[in-house]
Chains A and B, each alone.
Chain A
Amino acid sequence: MEEDLEHDMHEPTSFLTKYVWSQDHKVIAIQYSVIAILVGLVALVLSGLMRLQLGFPGSFDFIDPSAYYQFVTMHGMIMVIYLLTAIFLGGFGNYLIPLMVGARDMVFPFVNMLSVWFYLLAVIVLMASFFVPGGPTGAGWTLYPPQAILPGTPGSDWGIILMLVSLAIFIVAATMGGLNYVTTVLQARTRGMTLMRMPLTIWGIFMATILALLAFPALFVSAVMMLFDKTLSTSFFMPAILSMGQQLDHEGGSPILFQHLFWFFGHPEVYIVALPAFGIVSDLISVHARKNIFGYRLMVWAIVAIGVLSFVVWAHHMYVSGMNPMFGYFFATTTLIIAVPTAIKVYNWVLTIWNGNIRLNVPMLFALGFVSTFTIGGLTGLFLGNVIVDLPLSDTYFVVAHFHMVMGVSPILVVFGGIYHWYPKMAGRMLNETLGKWHFWCTFLGTYAIYFPMHYLGVLGVPRRYFAYENYDFIPESAKDLNAMISVMAIFVAVAQLIFIFNLIWSLFKGEKATDNPWQATSLEWQTETTPPGHGNWGENLPVCHRWAYDYSVPGYEEDYLPQNYAGKGEEQKT
């Protein structure tokens, strides 16, 4: 890409254009991340409230069934969409794509700015639902009709409408951001940055964005159709039914149609969160083990394969939905096939540290913690993906434990690892290492203690989405003690996140000054002239890429890393 001189002339000077109405991808990334973390804290508090009820039923008067189901619903929706999707694509994607591919900014900076403001609007609409009559929707994060829009479910008047509107706005925001990320990766890479030289972080975010662009429309249309069913009495998802004993005017719609649309979005959504995490963790492991990522090409193809396959496995969420049971054969097969590229990624991570020179700093701890929790989450997926094994486990706590391990805890560990890793570049100061280690151990051990035993409640048969478990004969007293223990751990982990928040703020002012490349990493974002990088990222000339991102410990060199823009003769990657 040729030098864009005009760019420098547009450097914003006022506070407003620099930090509020900014079109700089780095500022937008931070805006995305701050909003996501704040709304994530709301979801964290909600999970604590929910656990209070489950661990100590009846002890808290303000948690009645309505409130409980509202906590559950909002916790799930915020975590999946408004925290994880937003922070990986809007946060990490925005910050890292231009820097890692050697571009000055996203290709459509104005659209990028619109994206973050639409995201904020979506969050505001979502939060507003806490203050409308009836409160937010309590339909569960899957929002299954008919129940989501009928009386008997909390928030079935206003809450559900605001939820659907907020999702629609979020999807507009994600689309504007997504078009930018994809176009930037395809069109704005610097000289020498071939696709097969890109860091895996970019590959993960790139593929996840493509998934988002293809999957979110399914959620968008189902949200609109449900809004019509609710407000205009259409019957997309509503068959002839009763509600509280009264016949409704609807007829001919299909509740299962919604589930197909929802999971056609919902399963790729798992990978929209997981693929960036896979990419980031690959880079963290490689940098901090001082070793090239093992099997780079296979890793890239695994990301692509997972992305493609993720569109043909959705109905494994619907084995007991009442759909034609013949579908079970197909979806069980595709689901277990997707385990192969996923397993390859795990092997390659652990083979990367083999023969490495491992620095056990905070980002590396989070990365290794991720491999362990993701292994559990992935393996329990083999129970649920295999249709016959799913029959007893579906809708129990086994499912809750599984998806929290695989797409709650694991991606969050990567988010933390990524923040500890790139914070020096973003803030110009290091995060405190001691606080970071405390944060890691509390989070890692705490979440293990929460979710590992929870699988056993599911094996016992304890159903999920229950407000209380009183007087069920098959649930022994000891299960209640276990629930209490899980709740204590959950609150412990939640409180431990304050260490992280404190570290973020404290280090911004008091943290050790960061050098340009504190981790001695090869990828381009560490080769900027200033830290944090200035407007336009790269001074006069764009960097030129001469090698892949994983030239660590190349034989024959004194240093154990060769930056991607290092022109000297290194062990050229054979492509």
Chain B
Amino acid sequence: MAIAVVLILIVIGSIVFHFVSPWVMTPLASNWGAIDDTMLITLIITGIVFIAINFFIAFAVIKYRHDKNRKSKYEPENKKLEVWLTAITSVGIIAMLAPGLVVYSDFVNVPEEASVVEVVGQQWSWSFRFPGADNQLGKSAIEHISIDNPFGIDPLDPNGSDDVLVTGNRLILPLDQPVKVLMRSKDVLHNFYVPQFRVKMDMVPGTVSYIWFTPTKVGEYEILCAEFCGIGHFNMRGYVEVREPQDFDTWIQQQSTFADSLAKNNSEILSVAAKSGEELAQTNGCIGCHNFNDSSVGPTWKGLFGKTQTLVNGEEILVDEDYLRESILNPEAKIVKGFAPIMPPVDLDDLQVNALIAYIKEKGGSQKSNGEVQKETPSGAKLVQSKGCTACHSMDGSKMLGPTWKDLFGSQRELASGQIIEVTESYLKESIFQPNAKIVEGYPPVMPPPVVNEEEVVAIIEFIKTL
């Protein structure tokens, strides 16, 4: 008997709970109201079944409770009833499935006028890329990723140079413009999830996934990661801000492009372009005859750029970019004295030629000046982004998974062991190489040791000092 009363109370309680619950869907901020509608249809149909089944059990338990003087009715089957129940169930299923699939086909088929933005996930932060004026994203690959090219854009793809790159976990989108979000991950699985937009999708390393939606409300919304991605998963925060179209245009014009970032960087042995040039030199066989030694079949590239060469006709010529370009595309035009005109023309496009020139220039040039490669360490500010430090350490004093870096240097900290220490260079260095050696009180020992070398650690510490 108690079970009957309890089941009735559960049903009534559930209905009351449903209507007074403050935990409802977030206010819709995209075009996907239809998803909410299909959910409502499902709720109504399943709600009716839930109430019916529980009430039926309760009623049966009361009506047919045990009585020594009574026997059950022997009724193995009732074909008619079974057919009816199957039919009604099928109708209910179709009533949920059919509208669901219709809305789903809207979700799968992206409208043609949709603009494109790429979201890139890494442990545990977000970055974004817009295609720029040509409306085409440059190709990307993991192998191109470096400190100066965090998106891994192929420097030889002309579509990439005007791509607008946005780091720092904040995406701006224009109001009422359908947007196709292409998704990519650099490391593990992630999931781009904004509750107010309703749709979400995993970001999978090795493939590109997509969703689309139209933001319909100006405002700021949180981006969450919805696919477990390691210990920082719950803290992989980002924001998407929906602005009026003209405000969006103003904003995007202020952002830097891939070309800008290439021009700015000089922090490495070879620039990104020169690195591609190095590859080209290998794949096209250039290095069979040219190298950076003194004994090469063709003219050496060592110190070549900026040098004056004597041609077979006795003319003297300064090796500049134009000369190199001409000699690559049309090798027989100007043969250097002492060399045979045996080089076949190479079929390269403009960007590739530039990359090759950059390689000859940078590698040959640096050897000329020092005889050895100049090694420069990238700045600490860049390193902390690329190594993923900022996923857990804030720079503004806010508490995240790890201690904030603001005012960290020189301060006094209590360790989990109870010991008080002063944050010095040697403490920071130890904590980077052996994160769990001296844990600050109140923080979990969860930091994985980053792959960094001595110089990089110095750069990171210098950067932390400035905060």
B38 touches A372 (CB 8 A): no
Chain A binder among B65-73, B258-266, B324-332: B65-73
User: How many Å lie between the Cα of A289 and that of B3 in the bound state?
Assistant: 14
User: A7 near B: Cβ within 8 Å?
Assistant: no
Whether, in the assembled complex, B339 has its beta carbon less than 8 Å from a beta carbon of chain A, the answer is: no
Closest chain A residue to B188, Cβ basis: A147
Inside 8 A of B49's CB, which chain A residues have their CB? 343, 375, 379
Cβ of A193 under 8 Å from chain B: no
By the criterion CB–CB under 8 Å, are A358 and B60 in contact?
A: yes
Does A66 interact with chain B (Cβ within 8 Å)? Answer: yes
- Enumerate A374-399 residues with CB–CB distance to B below 8 Å: 375-376, 379-380, 382-383, 386-389, 391-396
Q: How far is the CB of A10 from chain B (nearest CB, A)?
A: 41
Tell me which residues across on chain A come within 8 A of B26, comparing CB atoms.
460-461, 474
Per the bound structure, the CA–CA distance linking A553 and B66 in Å amounts to: 13
Taking the complex as formed, is A268 at the interface, i.e. its CB lies under 8 A from any CB of chain B?
A: no
Q: A452 and B38 in contact (CB under 8 A), knowing A253-B206, A320-B201, A479-B23? A: no
Which residues of A have CB within 8 Å of B97? 332-333, 336, 386
Is B438 an interface position by the 8 A CB rule?
no
User: Which residues of chain A from 338 to 388 have a CB within 8 Å of any chain B CB?
Assistant: 339-340, 343-344, 346-347, 350-351, 353-360, 365, 368-369, 371-372, 375-376, 379-380, 382-383, 386-388
Does B255 belong to the interface (CB within 8 Å)? no
Interfacial chain B residues near A247, Cβ < 8 Å: 142-143, 145
Complex CA–CA separation, A571 to B76 (angstroms): 11
Beta-carbon contact of A358 and B46 below 8 Å: no
Q: Which residues of B contact A242 (CB under 8 A)?
A: 122, 142, 145, 186-187
The proximity string for A residues 464-486 relative to B, scoring 1 for CB distances below 8 Å and 0 otherwise, is 01111100111010110010000
Q: Which residues of B contact A253 (CB under 8 A)?
A: 206
Segment touching A, from B84-92, B168-176, B422-430: B84-92
* A244-B388 Cα distance, complex, nearest whole Å: 6
Interface size class of chain A, counting residues whose CB lies under 8 Å from the partner chain = 35 or more
Inter-chain CA distance A153–B82, complex, in Å, is 51
| Chain A residues whose CB sits within 8 angstroms of the CB of B204 once the complex forms | 255-256, 321-322
B9 (CB) vs chain A CBs: closest residue: A445
* Known interface pairs A239-B206, A357-B67, A474-B196; A553-B187 also in contact (CB < 8 Å): no
B276 at the interface (CB under 8 A from A): no
- Expressed in whole angstroms, the Cα–Cα distance for A332 and B97 within the complex equals 8
Q: Which of B103-111, B158-166, B355-363 contacts A (4 or more CB under 8 A)?
A: B103-111
Tell me whether B188 and A336 are in contact (CB under 8 A): no
Mark A247-258 against chain B: 1 for CB-CB distance below 8 A, else 0.
100000111100
CA distance A138 to B233 in the complex (A): 12
Q: Is B314 an interface residue (CB 8 A)?
A: no
Q: A151-B448, A322-B209, A354-B60 are in contact. Are A292 and B188 (CB under 8 A)?
A: no
**B176 CB to nearest chain A CB (Å):** 21
Known: A240-B142, A355-B64. A379 touches B203 (CB 8 A): no
The residue on B at minimum CB distance from A396 is: B226
A241 to B82, CA, bound (A): 55
Q: Mark A453-465, 1 if CB is under 8 A from B, else 0.
A: 1001101110101
> A151-B448, A256-B204 given as contacts; is B82 within 8 A of A298 (CB)?
yes
Note all chain A residues with C-beta closer than 8 A to B85. 343-344, 347
Is the pair B193, A395 in contact by a Cβ cutoff of 8 Å? yes
- Measured between beta carbons, the chain B residues less than 8 angstroms from A102 are none
Q: A375-B54, A380-B46 are in contact. Are A472 and B60 (CB under 8 A)?
A: no
Q: Given A242-B186, A332-B104, check contact A356 B64 (CB 8 Å).
A: yes
- How many Å lie between the Cα of A457 and that of B22 in the bound state? 10
Q: Is A18 an interface residue (CB 8 A)?
A: no
Inter-chain CA distance A247–B145, complex, in Å, is 9
A459 and B23 contact, Cβ closer than 8 Å, known pairs A358-B66, A382-B96: yes
Asked whether A8 is an interface residue with its Cβ less than 8 Å from the other chain, the reply is no
Q: Is the CB of A245 within 8 A of B450?
A: yes
- Whether A553 pairs with B72 at a CB distance below 8 angstroms is yes
Q: Please name all residues of chain A whose beta carbon is closer than 8 Å to the beta carbon of B415 when the two chains form the complex.
A: none
Cβ A289 vs Cβ B72 within 8 A: yes
- Cα distance A66–B436 in the bound complex, in angstroms: 13
Complex contacts, B101 vs chain A, CB 8 Å: 329, 332-333, 387-388
Residues of A within 8 A of B1 (CB): 360
Interface positions, chain B 1-21, Cβ under 8 Å from A, are 1-3, 6-7, 10, 14, 17, 21
Q: How far is the CA of A344 from the CA of B224 in the complex (A)?
A: 40
- B25's partner among A256, A460, A479 (CB-CB below 8 A) is A460
Pairwise interchain contact B228-A139, C-beta atoms closer than 8 A: yes
How far is B183's CA from A396's CA once the two chains are assembled, in angstroms?
20
| Chain A positions 307 through 351: 1 when the CB is less than 8 Å from some CB of chain B, otherwise 0 | 000000000000011100110110011001101100110110011
Instruction: Check A389–B39 contact: CB distance below 8 A.
Output: yes
Q: Which residue of B lies closest to A298 (CB)?
A: B82
Judge whether B46 and A382 touch: CB under 8 Å: yes
Known: A256-B207, A463-B226. 6 other contacts (CB 8 A): A242-B187, A253-B206, A354-B60, A392-B35, A467-B234, A482-B23
Q: Which 5 A-B pairs have the closest CB atoms?
A: A64-B444, A239-B206, A461-B195, A322-B209, A152-B230
Can you report 10 residue pairs joining A to B where beta carbons are below 8 Å apart? A64-B444, A152-B123, A320-B191, A332-B104, A336-B96, A340-B90, A375-B49, A379-B50, A395-B226, A468-B235
**B interface with A by C-beta (< 8 Å):** 1-3, 6-7, 10, 14, 17, 21-26, 34-35, 38-39, 42-43, 45-46, 49-50, 53-54, 56-57, 60-61, 64-67, 70-78, 81-82, 85-86, 89-90, 93, 96-97, 100-101, 103-105, 107-108, 122-123, 141-143, 145, 183, 185-189, 191, 193, 195-196, 198-207, 209, 221-222, 224-235, 386-388, 401, 444-446, 448, 450-451
Residues of A whose CB lies within 8 Å of any CB of B are: 64-67, 69, 138-140, 144, 146-147, 150-154, 239-247, 253-256, 289-292, 294-298, 320-322, 325-326, 328-329, 332-333, 336-337, 339-340, 343-344, 346-347, 350-351, 353-360, 365, 368-369, 371-372, 375-376, 379-380, 382-383, 386-389, 391-396, 441, 444-445, 448, 452-453, 456-457, 459-461, 463, 465-469, 472-474, 476, 478-479, 482, 550, 552-555, 560, 571, 573
